[in-house]
Amino acid sequence: MSNHLASETSPYLLQHANNPVEWYPWGEEALALARDQNKPILLSIGYSACHWCHIMAYESFEDLEVAAVMNEHFINIKVDREERPDLDQIYQAAHFMLNQRHGGWPLTLFLTPEQKPFFAGTYFPKEPRHGIPGFLDLLPKIVELYHTRREDIEQQNTALLKMFAETLPTSGTNIPAFSRHLIDQAITQLFANFDREWGGFGSAPKFIHPAELEFCLRCYFPEGDKQALHMTVYTLERMAKGGIYDQLGGGFYRYSTDQYWRIPHFEKMLCDNGPLLQLYSDTWLATRDPLFKRIAEETATWVMREMQSDQKKGGYYSALDADSEHEEGKFYVWDKNQIVQILPPDEYAVIVPYYGLSHFPNFENKYWHLEIDQSAAVIANEMGVSEEEVQQRIESARRKLFNIREQRVHPGRDKKILTSWNGLMIKGMARAGMIFQHKEWVHSAMQVVDFISTTLWKNNRLLAVHKDGKVHLNAYLDDYAFLLNGLLVLVQVEFRQSDLDFAIALADIMLDQFEDKQLGGFFFTSHDHEKLIHRPKIGQDNAIPSGNGLAAISLQRLGHLLGEYRYLQSAERTLKLFYSGMRRHASSYCSLLMALEEWLTPPQIVILRGKNPTLTEWHRALVFGAPEMMVLALPMELTGLPQSLNKGLPVDKDVNAWVCQGERCLPEITDLQELLQVCEVKGRMLFPL
């Protein structure tokens, strides 16, 4: 017997389609029932790869006793936070306002029929445990509260809506002139919060903070800020050697439960791996550390092997589950006796110190989750063999362990395709493919763009979700901003007029449907979106970059590229709107700070025109410049280019170059060495891959 979720696209909702709970998806049917029957709404928000969501489902939502109480007294609504980030943002904020602490998933709220929350929590066990009230005890208390204290609830709701309104930034009248002071201030704040021993920011649980790490890296390239570079390099190194990285299959898990990057929650999310793929590639440019190249290659390989749909021609899937066979991490962890049986003695002798298997088990006191404990150089010295020999044994052992692991029951895969997260991975794959000369990664990104433009772009509007041939849900700001940002990288790797046209269309819709024309900045939902109790406008970065931050960066870059002032003005209004918040806590706004940096010093733009293979050679040489430099290689045969890109073709040379910054352009350059000197690439192209 199924409830009302059976026809949904979300794998998370479908996981609950056979619960005895009479679940509804969010929509007018459920909301109308709550109003008509005067019942409170029990809203449960989670996602398919979430371990504690599975636990609460098993303990409570599959339980007949709990389901009977829920069905009698509540209208029960189940939401996939990845499909409905608008609802998740609103009700996570409500949880914080009601409890003065951050929420998480599963998020459990009780709402009035008017969608206003009056009680919020996260995971509840069926019976009381570890100081957490039991769900079965809580439900009747919520029912009584709703029916006997309506006046108190209304007063609380009034205060709550006022607090929501106060979260919206307001453009002050006394905004000082933009300056680098906020950028320096953010670096100081990040360094104060930097874990000098293990890398990353803060303590356990330790999240990745990709926007902060990219910001630090960007502060190194133009200014040579070695402290900022150290924060990024050391963090990425510790992560790459830790258990937050899948040492056998590639790709990163969502976050570490400890400060050491040792034991993660085992879900792998597309939205984390896209920015990290770009970060490891760009950090390799700064360091030439072969570790970073290896991590980029393994992560991109994992993406194409496990996350791209439809024989490598469709979009990227959302996530891999934390659990398999109802146990978190079971697919990934090892019993040491298994490893002894799999590997020959010479390889086992190397793997024991390499992965720290001589230590006490690090997962649930009985299993080993692999992390790098000793370097190949140290092991080689202790064993009296060459480092090359040790490395060969390690690689051989890794292949054997991976092949055996592949025979296990795999974690579930969330096969919905989210436009926003695909935008992040398009950027990562394109950037990494350009730096490391892997055309298959670039073509993977191009195929995803083609998939989105033909499948999720309808009537000049984006849709947010694709699953099993069905597309739906009005797209959010992140869908437009992240995809636009990815396209602006892709056109620099392999220029296609269709990609530039798509980028312009996305930018125009963002301005038309999301921009606050009065105060500046962009709402998370479009002007014609379903009316909810709050309409967020968010500038701070979170687990993923801020939509307003990437919108400002992308609009500035597109504005400079095309000479389109309305894009530049929109980005400037966004910076002005959030400037007061940035002054209060700069390091929370790293994406907007990168936009501020490019407002203060516009990125260098190089337009190359000419014939291959010389055109490719020049383009390749400039790849080793700073990440903020934009380089477009435009073959001679291209026609119909925008006026700003339609530079004069070379007369006596195979290639010429046009270097611009802001409104200033230098005369035509026809010598590669002169071009590299002008762009201050400083011989980076001479380093071998």
pLDDT tens across 520-574, in order?
A: 999 999 999 999 999 999 999 999 999 999 999 999 999 999 999 999 999 999 9
Among 214-223, 263-272, 678-687, top mean pLDDT goes to 263-272
In whole angstroms, what is the distance from residue 280 CA to residue 276 CA? 6
Here the tokens at position 550 are 């990437």
SS3 481: helix
Number of H helices, E strands in the chain: 25, 20
Tens of pLDDT along 444-459? 999 999 999 999 999 9
Supply the pLDDT for residue 595: 98
- Read off the pLDDT of each residue in 664-682 and give the average, rounded to a whole number: 89
SS3 472: strand
pLDDT above 90 for 400: yes
pLDDT above 60 for 439: yes
In whole angstroms, what is the distance from residue 26 CA to residue 44 CA? 10
- Read off the pLDDT of each residue in 653-665 and give the average, rounded to a whole number: 92
Q: Where do you find CATH 3.40.30.10 in the chain?
A: 11-167
Give the confidence band of 648 by pLDDT, cuts at 50, 70, 90.
Answer: confident
Q: Which residue is associated with the tokens 């190089």?
A: 606
Q: 657-676 as b/e, with b when 16 or more CB fall inside 10 Å?
A: bbbbeeeeeeeebbebeebb
pLDDT above 50 for 684: no
The set of residues, in sequence order, having a beta carbon less than 8 Å from that of 648 and lying 6+ positions away, is 609, 656, 668
Least confident of 172-176, 360-364, 438-442, 655-659: 172-176
Supply the pLDDT for residue 374: 97
The set of residues, in sequence order, having a beta carbon less than 8 Å from that of 322 and lying 6+ positions away, is 49, 50, 51, 54, 265, 266, 267, 328, 329, 411
The set of residues, in sequence order, having a beta carbon less than 8 Å from that of 398 and lying 6+ positions away, is 247, 248
Give the confidence band of 688 by pLDDT, cuts at 50, 70, 90.
Answer: very low
Here the tokens at position 675 are 């071009």
Q: Where do you find CATH 1.50.10.10 in the chain?
A: 183-324+414-600
Supply the pLDDT for residue 687: 33
- Read off the pLDDT of each residue in 391-398 and give the average, rounded to a whole number: 98
- Read off the pLDDT of each residue in 428-448 and give the average, rounded to a whole number: 97
Distance of CA 28 to the CA centre of its chain: 30
- Read off the pLDDT of each residue in 596-622 and give the average, rounded to a whole number: 95
- Read off the pLDDT of each residue in 562-591 and give the average, rounded to a whole number: 97
Supply the pLDDT for residue 399: 98
Q: Residue 398 phi/psi, 5° resolution?
A: -60, -45
Q: What is the DSSP letter of 307?
A: I
Supply the pLDDT for residue 607: 96
Q: Is 345 left (phi over 0), alpha (psi -120 to 50) or beta?
A: alpha
Tens of pLDDT along 477-508? 999 999 999 999 999 999 999 999 999 999 99
CATH number of 183-324+414-600: 1.50.10.10
**Residue from 638, 633, 612 nearest 675 by CA:** 633
CA angle, corner 116, sides to 114 and 119, nearest 5? 135
Q: Where do you find CATH 1.10.10.10 in the chain?
A: 332-407
Supply the pLDDT for residue 681: 75
Q: What is the mean pLDDT of the chain?
A: 95
Supply the pLDDT for residue 685: 35
Does residue 545 have a cis peptide bond before it, meaning omega lies within 30 degrees of 0? Answer: no
Give the confidence band of 172 by pLDDT, cuts at 50, 70, 90.
Answer: low
- Read off the pLDDT of each residue in 418-429 and give the average, rounded to a whole number: 98
Supply the pLDDT for residue 312: 67
**Residue from 2, 94, 101, 100 nearest 43 by CA:** 94
In the CATH hierarchy, which fold is given to the domain comprising 11-167? Glutaredoxin (3.40.30)
CA angle, corner 93, sides to 515 and 486, nearest 5? 45
CATH number of 332-407: 1.10.10.10
Q: Are 187 and 228 in contact (CB under 8 A)?
A: yes
The set of residues, in sequence order, having a beta carbon less than 8 Å from that of 583 and lying 6+ positions away, is 182
**What percent of the chain has pLDDT above 90?**
92
- Read off the pLDDT of each residue in 6-15 and give the average, rounded to a whole number: 95
Q: 568-583 as b/e, with b when 16 or more CB fall inside 10 Å?
A: bebbbbbbbbbbeebe
Least confident of 328-337, 476-485, 620-629, 630-639: 620-629
In whole angstroms, what is the distance from residue 593 CA to residue 183 CA? 6
Give the confidence band of 134 by pLDDT, cuts at 50, 70, 90.
Answer: very high
Q: Are 635 and 585 in contact (CB under 8 A)?
A: no
Supply the pLDDT for residue 1: 63
SS3 110: strand
Give the confidence band of 313 by pLDDT, cuts at 50, 70, 90.
Answer: confident
Strands 264-265 and 75-80 come out as unpaired
Does residue 344 have a cis peptide bond before it, meaning omega lies within 30 degrees of 0? Answer: no
Q: Are 312 and 370 in contact (CB under 8 A)?
A: no
Q: Are 323 and 50 in contact (CB under 8 A)?
A: no
Supply the pLDDT for residue 689: 33
pLDDT above 90 for 2: no
In whole angstroms, what is the distance from residue 165 CA to residue 111 CA? 19
- Read off the pLDDT of each residue in 451-469 and give the average, rounded to a whole number: 96
SS3 674: helix
Q: 390-406 as b/e, with b when 16 or more CB fall inside 10 Å?
A: bbebbebbbebbeebbe
pLDDT above 50 for 686: no
Q: Are 212 and 590 in contact (CB under 8 A)?
A: yes
What is the full DSSP assignment across 33-71? HHHHHT--EEEEEE-TT-HHHHHHIIIIIT-HHHHHHHH
Distance of CA 430 to the CA centre of its chain: 15
Supply the pLDDT for residue 449: 98
Q: Which residue is associated with the tokens 């990219």?
A: 214
The burial class, CB within 10 Å (0-12 / 13-18 / 19+), for 629 is buried
- The Cα-based distances of 226 to 221, 558, 596 in angstroms read 10, 30, 21
CA angle, corner 533, sides to 527 and 534, nearest 5? 60
In whole angstroms, what is the distance from residue 228 CA to residue 188 CA? 9
SS3 626: coil
Tens of pLDDT along 17-72? 999 999 999 999 999 999 999 999 999 999 999 999 999 999 999 999 999 999 99
**What percent of the chain has pLDDT above 70?**
98
- Read off the pLDDT of each residue in 6-13 and give the average, rounded to a whole number: 95
